[in-house]
Amino acid sequence: MEIFGIKTGLLRPGEDIIEALRRGIDEAGISLRDGDVIVVSESFVATGEGRVVSLADITPSSRAISLASRYEKDPAEMELILRESDEILGGIPGVVLALKDGFLYPNAGVDHSNAPPGHVVLLPSDPKEAASRIRSALSNGARIGVIIGDSRTHPLRLGCVGVALACDGILPVEDARGRRDLYGRPLKITVKAVADNLVSAAQLVMGEGDEGIPAVVIRGAPVELSDSGPVAIPNIPPHECMYIGVLRSIPRPYTGEYDDLVRSAIDARDQAYAPYSKFRVGAAVLCRSGKIYRGANVENASSGAGICAERVAIAGAVAAGERELVALAVAGDLPRPITPCGICRQMMLEFGDMDVVMVGLDGDALMVRASELLPNAFTLPCGSRSSGSERH
């Protein structure tokens, strides 16, 4: 197997990556052949798409400011991480771990490297489309594959390896289940990450710094090409991942991120009206706007007329015009954390999945997603229904 580096020079935001790659291939004296695989850096693609952002142009939300303080990030960068991610899982000083499109990304792919000072590069908007466009433009009749690649670290390992974001003309994984090992036993779970492994090989030539090699041509790789069109890299749901599945036991310890929200829930608990049970509960809900709405349980001599703190907080947010709820904290009157009741779980999921932090009197706190508290809730996404008299 051979790997040929393609130098393109410094790419300017919005510059045509196809012309830059074609020029680099010509200057390297490479003629593409059947079976060749081109690996292209995701930051190169994103720069060509103009996804280079000046941090000075970003106004951080209150949530971004809070998280930036916790994880020692620039508030403007943290705001971009929130915008780019589907879920924040946690972090360490300097790095935030996020889920985006089913994949784990440090800082949601927001990257300072290979960006002008004061700027960051986001992930490409559509890696599949980019792979397809590159393959169509550069193949010149040859049967080739194209991979958009990135780099990642593995848990508890030092150093980066390659990962694929999307590909065209090549099968990203090879199912080895059913084959035999050296002792004749059938393989039951082995699936080869073909595209990831090719990107790892490409990384040895492309590098991570000022090498100026945003792409390579891999020749002679023992891979299967395909004409099925561009494909995303297959992933698995978090609960089936052995790392996330173990670390995200339900519920899991609260590690921070919503401290202001937790304090609001604890403060709201002091306002509870609970003359019958003497059991006070406070809740607070964080909205996408950054605003926090508080609520406390309100009891009634007729027990059915009482209302839980969680629903009081949600109702207050909705009455104020909020529709996008990010997280909810609930603080009870017991040493251990309490969980929302079934009706409150249903109410939360009416406005989408959200993080739920449950806090006890002794400071112990647990965290869970609302969908994990109530799988298969009876609801539709907020805003997807008819309103007024059309609802039944």
> Residue 335: enclosing H or E segment and its boundaries?
none
Question: Which alpha helices (H) appear in 139-241, and where do they start and end?
Answer: 194-206
313 in Cβ contact with 325 (< 8 Å)? no
The pLDDT score that the predictor gives to residue 380 is: 65
pLDDT at 218 (0 to 100): 96
Question: Which pLDDT score, from 0 to 100, does residue 241 have?
Answer: 81
| Nearest-angstrom CA–CA distance, 176 and 83 | 38
Decide: 373 and 339 in contact? Cβ < 8 Å.
yes
Sign of the torsion angle spanned by Cα atoms 304, 308, 313, 318: negative
Q: Are strands 2-6 and 215-219 parallel, antiparallel or unpaired?
A: antiparallel
Residue 199 and residue 193: Cα distance in Å, rounded?
10
DSSP state of 253: E
Say how many CA atoms lie within 13 Å of 101 toward its Cβ: 15
What the block records as the tokens of 346 is 């249903």
Which residues in the chain land under pLDDT 70? 178, 188-190, 209-210, 246-249, 379-392
The rounded Cα 379 to chain-centroid distance in angstroms is 24
The answer to whether the predicted template modeling score (pTM) of the entire model surpasses 0.75 is no
Residue among 203, 360, 344 nearest 285 (CA):
344
Residue 9: its pLDDT value, please? 85
Q: Two tokens at 342? A: 């079934």
Q: State which H helix or E strand residue 287 sits in.
A: strand 282-287
What letter would DSSP give residue 158? Answer: -
CA 325 – CA 317 distance, rounded (Å) = 9
Q: Which two tokens stand for residue 109?
A: 């792919």
Please choose, from the candidates 42, 39, 34, the residue with its C-alpha nearest in 3D space to the C-alpha of residue 227.
34
pLDDT reported for residue 224? 83
How many helices (H) and strands (E) in the chain? 11, 19
Alpha helix ranges (H) inside 234-283: 242-247, 259-269
**Both tokens assigned to 69:** 């303080």
Cβ neighbours for 338, distance < 8 A, ≥ 6 positions apart: 281, 330, 332, 358, 360
